[in-house]
């Protein structure tokens, strides 16, 4: 039985969307349990929404939740009884194999570091997710956990990305460093220094700098960047995809000539949605903490939350934390770290 702790409080749309997503997950997966830290006022609503799947859920009382405008310091000092803290504590105690949170990203980072600790050799845990491309999925990190990073910390993320793939069965992942140009002299001092370190330390795993317009070519397994660049890239990509999908739908509905083809296009649009919709790729892992922690957008609706839950389940089932830790230790030992 796989158990996931879910921090459902703190999202923009309220906990009801999380309850519905939990119900949908449990309906398809009778071998999954959910630990749900909730304020007592929400217990009855959770039971009502989840309905007949309630026996697969353990509701744990908590006093409050981390607010979206809480600073990480405030969350750490004043939210020890929050749904986020209790979910992480359940994972730390081995009562859950993973945690999914819809809450404040900065708070999740500092709480996870305090409650779970970090992996040896990783100074800055990173938000990471796989993005759809023309070919294979692309693991991108960092997506916003660390606004600025040193070249050595970027190298740690690269080692973590390689270990993540190897723990999942891929022996030779290829990665690049996000930059404004592919030439050696391009980029900030930090990025240029990181590129030199990657070339020296990572061997054939490192294929050089990669510009933003070639991120989705489909030939890479991972791209490494600081959280500032990664978050802007991710949000820009999500906004562009949402606009393109909406524009295509509008053109089909509003054109008399194209309206005849609408039934045929609907199947095509569904396939496109399955591949590139931001709602289907909204879950991000917090790699580098000593456990399995994932984050979903604070604005997630029921569909986005459900996909994030499914993403969390896949990550836990595809690669264990012990396998990831072992691969990272081997990678760092090879580099003499």
Is 238 found in the same domain as 134? yes
**Residue whose C-alpha is closest to residue 225's, from 112, 123, 109, 128:** 128
Is 141 found in the same domain as 243? yes
Is 297 found in the same domain as 166? no
Q: Which residues contact 299 (CB under 8 A, 6 or more apart)?
A: 11, 12, 13
For residues 311 and 151, what is the distance between their CA atoms, to the nearest angstrom?
30
pLDDT tens for 117-151 read 999 999 999 999 888 888 899 999 999 889 999 99
Up-side HSE of residue 257: CA atoms within 13 Å toward CB? 0
Q: Which residue has the tokens 């309905």?
A: 51
pLDDT number for residue 78:
85
258 alpha carbon, distance to own chain's centre: 38
Mean pLDDT, the chain, rounded, equals 89
Q: Quick check: is 215 in a domain?
A: yes
Last residue of a domain, one of 257, 278, 299: 278
pLDDT number for residue 279:
53
Is 178 found in the same domain as 61? no
Q: Quick check: is 325 in a domain?
A: no
| CATH classification at residue 50 | 3.40.718.10
Distances (CA, A) of 294 to 186, 289, 308: 33, 11, 8
Residue-range definition of the domain harbouring residue 201: 126-278
Annotate 104-171 with DSSP letters as a single string.
-HHHHHHHHHHHT-B-TT-SS-EEEEEEP-SSS-EEEE-SSS-SS--HHHHHHHHHHHHHHHHHTT-S
pLDDT in tens, the chain (337 residues): 899 999 998 888 889 999 999 999 999 999 999 999 999 999 999 999 999 999 999 999 998 888 888 888 888 888 889 999 999 999 999 999 999 999 888 899 999 999 999 999 999 999 998 888 888 999 999 998 899 999 999 999 999 999 999 999 998 999 999 999 988 889 999 999 999 999 999 999 999 999 999 999 999 999 999 999 998 988 888 888 788 878 877 777 777 766 667 676 767 667 766 665 555 556 789 999 999 999 998 888 888 899 899 989 998 998 888 899 999 999 888 887 7
Helices (H), the chain: 16-28, 43-50, 72-78, 83-92, 105-115, 151-167, 189-202, 227-254, 256-259, 262-276, 302-318, 321-334
Q: Quick check: is 202 in a domain?
A: yes
Joined tokens for residue 129: 């997710």
Is 141 found in the same domain as 94? no
Beta bridge partners of 286: 127
Q: Quick check: is 189 in a domain?
A: yes
Is 132 found in the same domain as 253? yes
Is 95 found in the same domain as 162? no
Q: Quick check: is 225 in a domain?
A: yes
Is 149 found in the same domain as 115? no
pLDDT number for residue 272:
66
For residues 165 and 177, what is the distance between their CA atoms, to the nearest angstrom?
17
Collapsed DSSP state (helix, strand, coil) of residue 36: strand
Q: Would you say 105 and 132 are in contact if contact means Cβ atoms under 8 Å apart?
A: no
Q: Quick check: is 321 in a domain?
A: no
Is 225 found in the same domain as 133? yes
Is 109 found in the same domain as 6? yes
Q: Quick check: is 39 in a domain?
A: yes
Is 132 found in the same domain as 274? yes
Q: Would you say 51 and 24 are in contact if contact means Cβ atoms under 8 Å apart?
A: no
The total of structural domains in the chain comes to 2
Is 145 found in the same domain as 238? yes
16-28 vs 302-318: helix crossing angle, rounded to 10: 50
For residues 336 and 197, what is the distance between their CA atoms, to the nearest angstrom?
13
pLDDT number for residue 103:
87
Q: What is the chain's length?
A: 337
Q: Quick check: is 323 in a domain?
A: no
Q: Please give the radius of gyration of the chain, using alpha carbons only, rounded to the nearest integer.
A: 21
Q: Please state the pTM of the whole predicted model.
A: 0.86
pLDDT number for residue 282:
62
């Amino acid at each position: 039985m796989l158990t996931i702790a879910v921090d459902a409080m703190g999202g923009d749309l309220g906990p009801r969307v999380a309850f519905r997503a939990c119900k949908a997950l449990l309906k398809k997966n009778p071998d999954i349990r959910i630990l749900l830290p909730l304020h007592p006022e929400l217990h009855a609503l959770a039971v009502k929404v989840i309905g007949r799947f309630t026996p697969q859920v353990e509701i744990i009382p908590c006093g409050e939740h981390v607010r979206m405008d809480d600073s990480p310091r405030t969350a750490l000092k004043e939210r020890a009884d929050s749904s986020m803290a209790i979910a992480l504590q359940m994972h730390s105690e081995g009562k859950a194999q993973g945690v999914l949170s819809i809450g404040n990203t900065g708070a999740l980072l500092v709480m996870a570091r305090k409650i779970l600790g970090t992996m040896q050799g990783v100074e800055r845990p990173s938000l990471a997710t796989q993005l759809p491309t023309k070919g294979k999925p692309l693991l991108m990190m960092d997506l916003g956990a660390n606004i600025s990073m040193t070249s050595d910390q970027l190298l740690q993320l690269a080692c973590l990305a390689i270990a993540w793939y190897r723990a999942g069965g891929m022996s030779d992942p290829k990665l690049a460093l996000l930059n404004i140009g592919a030439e050696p002299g391009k980029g900030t001092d930090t990025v240029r220094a990181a590129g030199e370190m990657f070339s020296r330390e990572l061997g054939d795993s490192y294929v050089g700098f990669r510009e933003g317009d070639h991120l989705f070519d489909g030939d890479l397994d991972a791209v490494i960047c600081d959280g500032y660049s990664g978050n802007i890239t991710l949000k820009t990509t999500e906004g562009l995809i949402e606009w393109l999908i909406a524009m295509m739908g509008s053109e089909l509905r509003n054109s008399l000539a194209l309206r005849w083809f609408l039934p045929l296009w609907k199947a095509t649009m569904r396939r496109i949605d399955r591949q590139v919709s931001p709602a289907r790729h909204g879950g991000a892992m917090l790699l580098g903490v000593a456990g399995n922690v994932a984050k979903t957008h604070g604005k997630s609706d029921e569909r986005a939350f459900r996909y994030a839950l499914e993403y969390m389940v896949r990550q836990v089932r595809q690669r264990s934390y012990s396998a990831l830790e072992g691969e990272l230790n081997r990678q760092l030992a090879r580099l003499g770290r």
